[in-house]
A = this chain, B = another copy of it.
Amino acid sequence: MKVPAWIPGLPAVARDDDLIGIPGDDAWPIRRAGLFPKPARCSTSQAMTVQSQPMQPDIAATPEFTFKVAARDGAARTGAISMPRGVIRTPAFMPVGTAATVKGMYPEQVRALGADVVLGNTYHLMLRPGAERIARLGGLHKFMNWPHPILTDSGGFQVMSLSQLRKLTEEGVTFQSHIDGSKHVMTPERSVEIQNLLGSDIVMQLDECVALPCEDKVAEKAMRLSLRWAERCKTAFGTHPGRALFGIVQGGAVPSLRVESARELAAMDLKGYAVGGLAVGEPQEVMLAMIEAVEPHLPQEKPRYLMGVGTPDDIVEAVSRGIDMFDCVMPTRAGRHGQIFTRFGRMNLKNAKHAEDPRPIDEQSACPAANGWSRSYLHHLVKAEEMLGKMLLTWVNLAYYQELMADLRGAIAAGRLADFIAETKEGWARGEPGSSPA
């Protein structure tokens, strides 16, 4: 198989919240389908306590890590991952808390939006403040004041994308910190050890994530190494009934390699499976084709996590293909750069057309940041590079992402996912009433 043809200029979406460029401001419209009652407008303080979708009394934290599918609609599923620290309603979007903070948000705000889980970046945390230090301080949950579930990545992705002087062998990766040049060795065993020190509820295996496009043999080699590392991670992780180790499907853009990876990992009987090595610049159809290829080979009774994805459009497409969990820096990073996601479409608040617009972003939104300040004010804050602008627009985006996930869960439960997605995309394409499509 040859290297696929890539669509030039398609923005890359990456898992790190710091060092990769902002995606382009191409039109990307959104609309809410109205499955849930229209939220009442509330104040900043109320929004920090009001759950956008209250937890059902029948789903509760459990002593063992479990996943229960409550309803299906085609390949899509909705359900709950339960563990001692809480419940993750699926499909779930995990806000990225790279350096033990979801940038620009108080933890209570993140929780109040309906986020059940956040992601922590092993690479960043091992370098600063250090995994052993966090462990001495009582673990990552206590450190960052987030008592709910935390998923940590393995560090492998950032080692390959951010660090210097990398050397990869069968044993692991040797690299230098991008912060201070200090030398570190990351092995499957050390990655699990670090994630244990952090106190992660969902631990990711160390994998080799190759850049796309790549030659098939490069993808194959990385996939097989990742399988061997998965075995080593499983041994290192041992038995932790209340926590989980997830394997990561690799195989580049080669369906047969992806299938082989999924089958081998399934045979290891891990508690969950991620699809990795996507959302690294390839077209959406390549990503979706890889999901379709592996989905039949992933155990139905285990959660599935598409790493580093993505736009709301990526998310609805992946949900309809059986994915349960997502993480992405897009809502937080884009918000810091003035770009927001609404049910009417994407907006760039830097744009001069907002300079004297007295309307809030969306007066029907339950998020104070979306209903409580004018677009003109937000435009001003973005232009003046004020912290409050980054805070408010990050809030807007995380609120929209969590609202979308709640709507997806409701649509699957109601058996109307296809209709919901069609309505949502129609709204995205139509834009705001009385204005041209975004």
Minimum CB distance partner of A43 in chain B: B108
Quick one: given A45-B108, A48-B48, A133-B355, are A103 and B376 in contact (CB under 8 Å)? no
CB–CB B390/A387 < 8 A: yes
Identify the stretch in A5-13, A52-60, A138-146, A293-301 within 8 Å (CB) of chain B at 4 or more residues.
A138-146
A273 and B101 alpha carbons, distance in the complex (Å): 45
CB–CB A103/B387 < 8 A: yes
CB–CB B44/A106 < 8 A: yes
A133 and B383 alpha carbons, distance in the complex (Å): 15
CB–CB A380/B108 < 8 A: no
Quick one: given A48-B45, A143-B377, are A356 and B388 in contact (CB under 8 Å)? no
A355 and B103 alpha carbons, distance in the complex (Å): 20
A184 and B46 alpha carbons, distance in the complex (Å): 43
CB–CB B99/A374 < 8 A: no
Interface residues on A, range: 35 or more
Quick one: given A45-B45, A101-B381, A381-B101, are A387 and B391 in contact (CB under 8 Å)? yes
CB–CB A129/B44 < 8 A: no
Which residues of A from 30 to 82 have beta carbons under 8 Å from B?
A: 43-46, 48-49
19 pairs across A/B with beta carbons < 8 Å?
A: A43-B108, A44-B109, A45-B49, A99-B381, A100-B377, A101-B381, A101-B387, A103-B386, A103-B387, A103-B388, A128-B383, A129-B355, A133-B355, A137-B356, A137-B358, A137-B374, A143-B376, A144-B377, A145-B373
Task: Give the interface of A toward B (CB within 8 A).
Answer: 43-46, 48-49, 99-101, 103-109, 112, 128-129, 133, 136-138, 143-145, 355-356, 358, 372-374, 376-377, 379-381, 383-384, 386-388, 390-391
Closest 4 CB pairs of A and B: A45-B48, A104-B387, A101-B388, A44-B108
